Structures are given as structure tokens and as C-alpha cells.
Amino acid sequence: MTAETREVRVRLAPSPTGFFHMGTARTAIFNWLFARQHGGSFILRIEDTDRERSRREFEDSITHGLRWLGLEWDEGPDGNHGKEKGKYGPYRQSERVEIYEKSLERLLREGRAYYCYCTKEELEAERQGLLAEGLPPRYSGHCREQKTPPHGKSPQVIRFRMPEGIVEVKDLIRGTVSFDMNLIGDIVIAKDTHTPLYNFAVAVDDEEMKISHVIRGEDHLSNTPKQIVIQRALGFLEPVYAHLPLILSGARAKLSKRDMETSLLDYKARGYLPEAMVNFLALLGWHPTDNKEVFTQDELLAKFNLKRVQKSGAVWSGEKLDWVNGEHIKSLKPKELVKRIREFAKEEKRTVADSASFEKIATLEQGRLARLADFFDLADFFFSLPEYEAGLLAWQNDTPEKTQHTLEESLSILRAIPQKKFLRDTIEHALGELIAREGRGSVLWPLRAALSGKKASPDPLDIMEILGHDETTRRISSAIEKLK
């Protein structure tokens, strides 16, 4: 059996040393899509070997973020009081020490690993000596043949006896990538038999959890040959590898994991839709065969293909994210839009005024929303008119006197419309003669400013219908007073 013929099992294996960031989210999406396309399993494994920096709140942000994106995992911690699902657990590396001990002891017994007694000071001196000669720093293998501890010394770490030669990584995205293991040296795989380090733990876990495909970021490519030689030493089946391009900032620098702007849940708090985030992140490195850029989850499942993932870095664009999110907001049906806005307001402790016309307001503003959070700035005037300067009321070169006169005529016309007939079409018809005489801008601009207190707003005719007869005439009256 080969990894290619095994049941598809992929894993997301984040380290809980920081909040769930965009790079991990993109990796999760690619793994989830691949698993679902092939009828396989998507496993969540928490790689918390860095015990000093790993925190449960960071793990919680990972599980919360995955569920918000709609990426439910088949095995792993379920984010609920420490419970797990799946038969290959535990799924936290900190709880798998006994499993690692067996493989470490086997490597030591077979001479494929050994205790290193070199102190930090000795290793640093060796490193500086190599650098002074213009050579790449690598461990000399000083303790390779050390059968008994040197006098007065105790083991510092466990090293893997690195085989010589070339290791070829057959990558689904990058093709064959070759590594000269002679340049790497004997790597440290554990501090002791109870404390494995990353490359060793990953190699064991991927075997024990029957992982068939490892889909992860390009920054892990250099770790892959190290994991492969450990797998071979233990007689493990090698997974198929696919290394995704880095996500780059606009300055083409790698997005930092510790940069809070890259935290997924920060974007949730700013009003981005989960389906839009999945859509946008899927396009960071992958491109469909056509020019389509807005996808539902089902459409991504139908079109996604690892063969169309690029090798070069994918550039992050906040403008593109806003556009994609805006397109997804536009696609929401009115009742769903209202539901999303109210849920967002509740989670972010925003105030949403009760209004019988709330659905109309939301629908009217829908086309202007890049994020749900925008609603509260764009639509606030429906609920409470903001302060504004009288100068805002004048259209282009119109004088204050002309603006006042036009508003007074508009007010007289609007007051004559019965409350029950105060609808957009009726209002537009009633104002038609005044607009024809004075010009559309001279009539509607002062009305826009008087009703919204803003330079940009929806059509004032729509605003009037939503505000109703009494509130519309009250606001216009107040505007006239400003001009006196």
C-alpha cells in the first residue's frame, strides 16, 4: 500500500502559541476541501510541544475560528471541555508522550539516534568556527560514537543520526525538490525521552494517525526531508506532500503570525462573513480555470484542484477582501441580511434600534456594505439624525437663500401628501414639477443632507419612504431653521 492508494486523511496541525491566523485558516480550507472532495477525513491535531508558549485560549480560538468558517473536523479536540472525537487520539501532542517514548527508545536501541553531551557553549564555539571558515553551521557528530557519558557530563539532547545522500521530496505543487542531507547534520529530535521536539513528533503522529496527505505552508518545506528520514528509519509510510505558497503582505513580506492584523477572529469582529473569508482565502494561491472570483462553498468543492495552486507567494489585498465580502453581502436575501446584522450587533455589543422598517433599511444599504460593521456608520441617520453644518445643504453653487427656498417648496409639497400614500413613487411624482424647474441636484441634494446629515446616502426618495411623513417633514423643517 502507498500513501496515494490509502484512504484520504489530511490534518490541520496548528501550534496554539498565538491566535488563529490567516495562514492557518487558508491551510485549513485547502485541507478541508481536499478531504471532502475525496470522501476522506479532516483531522485537527494540536501541536503543543512548546509548553511554555502554548495556551488553551489560543487552542479555543482555533476551534472557534474553524467552526465560524464552517470547517467542521472529523477527528480531534472538539473545543468543548477537553473532549475529543476520533479513534487515533489523543490529538494534543502534549498528551502523546508515551507514544513518542516508544519510537525514541527504538531509535536509540537501533543506533539511529544517540545522546548528545555537548553543552550550549561547546556547540556555539563549533558553530562560530564553521562560520569563520565560510562553512554552513551544522553539528559535527562529535557524540555519534560516544558509548558512555564523558566524565562529569550528562545527556543534553537526543540527536538523529542523519543518513548521507540526497532526499527527494515529491511535492504535488512544486514537483520534485531535492535536499542534500550532508548539509543538515544530525538534528535534535528530543530533549529527552519524555520531551520530543517538532520534527520527530510530527513524523510519529502522521504515521499513528494514518495521514495520507500533508498539505501545509511552504515554510515547512525545509522540515520535510528531516521528517522523511525519521519516517524511513522507523519503517513508516511516507505521506504525499503539498506545500502551499506563502501569504505575502502588500510589500511582499511574509504575513507575521504574531501580527494581530492577521488574526482570523479580528476579521470576524470587523464584520466579514465566514463564507466570504473562505472564498477569499481559497483564492490566495489557487485559481480556477475561468475568471470567476465569487464562490459559494459548494462551488469551491466542485472546482478546487491542488494542481492549480501556484508556487509563488500569494499577495494579500485588503481591497480584494472588502470587494469579495461586499459581493457576498449583496447575495444575502433580506431576512438573512437582517439576521446577520442583528447577530453581529449582539456579538460585538453594538446597538441596533428597533424599527418596523429595519429590513427596508438593511436592504437599502446592502449595496454599500463592504462589511457588516459598515451598516452602523452608514445607516445610523435612520435612527438618529447626526449633527451637520448648514453649508452641507447647498447644492454646488446654489446660494443659501435659494437652498432655503427650494427646501420650503419641497416641504410644502411633502406635507400635502397623505401619510398612507407617503411612498417613493408618490413622493417622486409630487416633486416632479419642482425638479423639472429647479434641477434634480438643487432639489434632491438639500433633501439628502436634511434627511441624513451626510454627503453620501441612499436615494433621498427611498429615505423619505422609510422615515415616513412626520419624521421627514420634521427633519426638513429643522434644516430650514439652520439656513435662517
Those residues with Cβ within 8 angstroms of residue 352's Cβ, 6 or more apart along the chain or in another chain: 341, 342, 345, 358, 376
The mean per-residue pLDDT over the stretch 426-448 comes to: 97
Q: What does the pLDDT read at residue 254?
A: 74
Which residues have CB under 8 Å from 24's CB, separation 6+? 12, 14, 62, 264
pLDDT digits 0-9 by tens, 226-273: 999 999 999 999 999 999 999 987 767 776 655 545 689 899 999 999
Q: Cell numbers 473569508 correspond to what residue?
A: 277
252 burial (CB, 10 Å; 0-12 / 13-18 / 19+) is exposed
Residue 81 has pLDDT above 60, yes or no: no
Annotated binding-site residue numbers for Zn(2+): 116, 118, 143, 145
DSSP letters along 38-59, please? TT-EEEE-B----TTT--HHHH
Residue given cell 495556551 in the structure block: 55
| pLDDT for residue 74 is more than 80 | yes
Average pLDDT in the 388-416 region? 97
For the segment 7-32, the average pLDDT, to the nearest whole number, is: 94
Bridge-based pairing of strands 84-85 and 76-77 is antiparallel
How far apart are alpha carbons 203 and 121 in whole angstroms? 30
- Report yes or no on whether pTM surpasses 0.85: yes
Contact 44, 76 (CB under 8 A): yes
pLDDT of residue 257: 54
Query: pLDDT digit string (tens) for 316-368?
Result: 999 999 999 999 999 999 999 999 999 999 999 887 777 778 999 999 999 99
Summarize pLDDT for 181-226 with one digit per residue, the tens: 999 999 999 999 899 999 999 999 999 999 999 999 999 999 999 9
Domain ranges across the chain: 1-84+199-331, 334-379, 390-483
% of the chain exceeding 90 in pLDDT: 78
Domain 1-84+199-331 is found in CATH 3.40.50.620: yes
Mean pLDDT lowest among 96-110, 122-136, 364-378, 383-397: 122-136
Grid coordinates of 445? 441634494
DSSP-assigned states of every residue in 350-377: ------TTHHHHHHHHGGG-SSTTHHHH
What values do phi and psi take at 389, rounded to 5?
-85, 150
- Candidates 263, 337, 331, 270; CA nearest to 299 is 331
Higher pLDDT, 52 or 277: 277
Spatial separation of the C-alpha atoms in residues 17 and 7, rounded to whole Å: 31
> Is 307 considered catalytic here?
no
Q: Catalytic pick from 120, 153, 257, 330?
A: 257
Q: Is the pLDDT of residue 1 over 90?
A: no
Q: What is the pLDDT of residue 260?
A: 43
Share of the chain above pLDDT 70, in %: 96
Cα 218 to Cα 20, 214, 258, 450: the distances in Å are 18, 12, 18, 56
Q: Which helix (H) or strand (E) holds 118?
A: none
Tell me, which fold does domain 390-483 have in CATH?
Answer: Arc Repressor Mutant, subunit A (1.10.10)
What digits encode the pLDDT tens for the residues 284-312?
A: 999 998 889 999 999 999 999 999 999 99
Predicted pLDDT at 436: 97
